A and B are shown apart, each in its own frame.
Chain A
């Protein structure tokens, strides 16, 4: 598989998600839209970043990671999720920016010092758990495009995902710290 066909392969899903019929499948429930679609786009962005391994500048890493985090934060806001259901252009922005966030995180996070990337990962996943608890515990509808049941399901899924990922990062941190302490 040459470079162009690999690039087309990772761009295929974001392009499909812009088609109204495919978008309707993901937009049908909040967990599909705000969780499954988000992570698929992040994964596509991460896969795309693997196609450009040599064009990385470590000095840009903090700015790139901050930009990716802000993009993710923006699409965690209920009003932003609503907007994707009202304006097709907002949905296109959602697809493009989450793809870009995945690209930036995968491209630049490994360039940060190990301690910084682990601290970032722990903070990121704890933020996801906090968001999840917020969505799961609210008895009022936060996203007007979805139902309260959807919102609660989405919240608990975020909590579960966040906790598993947090524990995974902790476990990797332990693996990273133990050899370091043994070598002293």
Chain B
């Protein structure tokens, strides 16, 4: 009897901790906790690579591919950015006019406006690619609402979700692409929304 009780209580706690045995990592927990898709995308205020203060609402009417990154990352961020560059340059000019890539830095200290401008030039200086640092104190809340996990380590590196969030013209998050999703699949999915 005690054994069944321990099993029941322990199993329930494990289930609650992993959202019904579906979220075992901090990344998946944050994503599932943010809620089912489609969901309204939280508004983000940011300063773009030209130093202009903007917000997500200013991009309404275009599809937005949002992700977080940081410029001094030597692991996943350069790979994601290169994949995005390949994806974006593969679209026609007409298609690009309907899609914005919004790369938000999670490292406001090192990713200054000048550094973001440099990075933007390095990836091809596309009009529809915004490299930004968040402004305002609400970025933690926004990352939580998006389902993005950010963990700043003591050695200066920052581990973070590398998912791509597709926000439709109406400002709803409609798809989340995992870092494993290849460009062909993302392109096909994006084209179905255009």
Residues of chain A having any CB pair with chain B under 8 Å: 60, 62-63, 66-67, 70, 73-74, 77-80, 82, 85-86, 139-145, 147-148
Contact = CB atoms under 8 A, between A and B. Distances in A.
A148 B6 contact: no
Interface string B1-45: 011011100110110011000011111010000000000000000
Contact of B17 (A66, A79, A86, A148): A79
B159 interface: yes
Contact of B5 (A63, A70, A144, A147): A63
B6 A79 contact: no
Nearest to A140: B179
A86 B153 CA distance: 9
A100 to B, nearest CB: 13
Dominant SS at the A interface?
A: helix
A80 B18 CA distance: 10
A80 B180 CA distance: 24
Given A60-B2, A70-B14, A74-B17, 17 more contacts: A62-B2, A63-B3, A70-B11, A73-B14, A74-B13, A77-B17, A78-B25, A79-B17, A79-B18, A79-B29, A80-B17, A86-B151, A139-B180, A140-B180, A141-B27, A144-B159, A147-B75
Nearest to A139: B180
A74 B21 CA distance: 12
